[in-house]
Amino acid sequence: MYGGGVIGTTTAYYLTRHPSFIPSIHHITLLEATSIGAAASGKAGGLLGLWAYPTCLVPLSYHLHAELAAEHGGAQRWGYRRLGCGQLTAAVRKGGSPSRSAAKTKKRKSSGLVKQQNELDGQEDWQKLPKQDKAASSMLHRSALPVDLDWINASLVREYAEMGLPGFTETAQVHPYQFTTSIAALARERGAEIRVNAKVTNIGLNKSGTAVSSVEYFDRLTNETRTLEGVTDVVVAAGPWTGRLWPKAKVEGLRAHSVVFAADVSPYAVFTDISLPNDWVPAHRAARGEKRKHRGNVDPEIYARPGGEVYACGEPDSIIPLPETADQVECDESQCDDLISYISTVSPVLGSAAIAAKQACYLPRHMRFGKESTPLIGGTSVGRLWIASGHTCWGIQNGPATGKLMSEFIFDGEAKSADIAELDPKKFKV
C-alpha cells in the first residue's frame, strides 16, 4: 500500500480488522514517502458532514467516524465531537464597522448564498474551495446568529444560514493529524507494517502485464532502492501523487493554504462571505506598498477545534506545481497573512490571537477533461492493482468508508457496505 495519509491508514486499519485477515498468512506493508499525515491529511480542516459528497460514500463514512471514536476514545485521542455549522455574510467598511451601502457591484457564482463583489481593477477574484456542492447549499436555512457564536462581530453580520436538520445535515469534526496518526498506530498494533521515508518509484507487473507482482521504492534514509517481491495486491492511496505513480488515474494536486489560531472558542464551523471596503488593504501589504490581492468579497472557512485551536483555510491556487514529496511543499506566507487579515475584520477574538501555524498542502483532485470528477475507489484494468484517491476537500470525512470498502474489495472481491459503482476506476479506463 502506498500513502500514509488518511486513505492509506484507514485502509490498513480495516484490512487488519477484516474477518478474513490472518496475521500469520497476510502481510500488510504501508509505504509512505515522508511521514504519516505529512501532507493534506495532517493539514486539513477535519470537518465531517452528512451533507458532504459524494452521497454514495458520505453516510457510511460519517457513521464509521462515530463508531471509531466510540471504540477507541476518539474524543480524547483525536478531538472527535459534534459542532454547529453555518454560513454568514458580513459587510465591513473602513475601520471595521458595518458597511451601510454597497458599492457598484455585480453578482458572481458561489456554492453558498448569492454574493456580490466590488468592481476593482488589477485585483483577483477569490477562488472558493469546492467544499459545498449545490445539494449542500440547498440545506442551509436562514436563522439568527447563534448567541454563543460570540467570537464573530455580530454587528457586521447581514445574514446567517444554519446547517440545521438533525440526522440529515449533522456536522462533526476530528483533528486530522491526530486522527490519521492514531489510525496508523491502531493498524500497526494489529500487524500492519509501516515504512516511512519510502518513496514508491515503480509498480512491477507480471510478464503478461496483467497483474501486479512487485513494488520498487527508494529508501530516503539510506539512499537505496529496494524491492518488495511476491506482492499480491497494491493499493495506491497517494493523494495528489497518485497520478505521478499511475498516470492513468489523472489525480493531481491543488495547493491550498491554511492557518491555525491559538484561541479557545465555542464549537462552530463557519463558512464566510465577507465584503471588504474598496480602499481597505491588509497591513502586511500596505507596509510593502501593495494593493489588496482580492476584490470585494472573500470567503475564508473557519473551524473551531478542541484544545484551544481554530483552523482557517483560504483559497486554492496552482501557482507552484506539486513537488516530489510532502516535505517539499512551499508555503506562501503572504497568502496566510491575507487569510489572517480577512478573518480579523469579522473576528476581533481571532484577530488578537497568536498564530500557531501557517501551512500549505495539496488537495488530490481527479480531473477529467479539465473538470473535477469523483474520487476513484476500486480495482483497475491491471489485476489486483487498486486505486483509492481523488477525494479533494473530503478526504478526512470519507477516509473510513474508503478504507472499509477497500478491505472488502481485497478480501471479499466486492464492496459490501455501500454501492460505489459510480467511483469505479475502470469506468474511467484507469
What is the residue whose three cell numbers read 497568502? 335
Number of helices followed by number of strands (H, E) in the chain: 11, 23
Sheet holding 385-389, edge to edge: 234-236, 385-389, 376-379
DSSP summary character for residue 297: E
Alpha carbons 365 and 256: distance in angstroms, whole number? 12
Angle (CA) 160 165 167, round 5°: 145
CB of 174 within 8 A of CB of 396? yes
Does the model's pTM come out above 0.95?
no
User: What is the residue-level pLDDT of the chain in tens, covering all 430 positions?
Assistant: 999 999 999 999 999 999 999 999 999 999 999 999 999 999 999 999 999 999 999 999 999 999 999 999 999 999 999 999 999 999 997 665 454 433 333 333 433 323 333 444 567 888 877 666 777 777 788 899 999 999 999 999 999 999 866 666 899 999 999 999 999 999 999 999 999 999 999 999 999 999 999 999 999 999 999 999 999 999 999 999 999 999 999 999 999 999 999 999 999 999 999 999 989 999 999 999 999 989 779 999 999 999 999 999 999 999 999 999 999 999 999 999 999 999 999 999 999 999 999 999 999 999 999 999 999 999 999 999 999 999 999 999 999 999 999 999 999 999 999 999 999 999 999 9
Q: Determine the pLDDT at residue 139.
A: 78
Cell of 388: 483509492
Long-range pairs for 68-76: beta carbons < 8 A, 24 or more residues apart: 68/183, 68/400, 69/174, 72/182, 72/186, 74/174, 74/179, 74/182
Q: Determine the pLDDT at residue 103.
A: 35
Q: Determine the pLDDT at residue 123.
A: 76
Alpha carbons 123 and 107: distance in angstroms, whole number? 16
- Closest-CA residue to 418 (of 107, 72, 64, 153): 64
CB of 329 within 8 A of CB of 35? no
Q: Which residues contact 261 (CB under 8 A, 6 or more apart)?
A: 309, 310, 311, 312, 350, 353, 354, 355, 356
Q: Determine the pLDDT at residue 126.
A: 85
Q: Which amino acid is at 292?
A: R
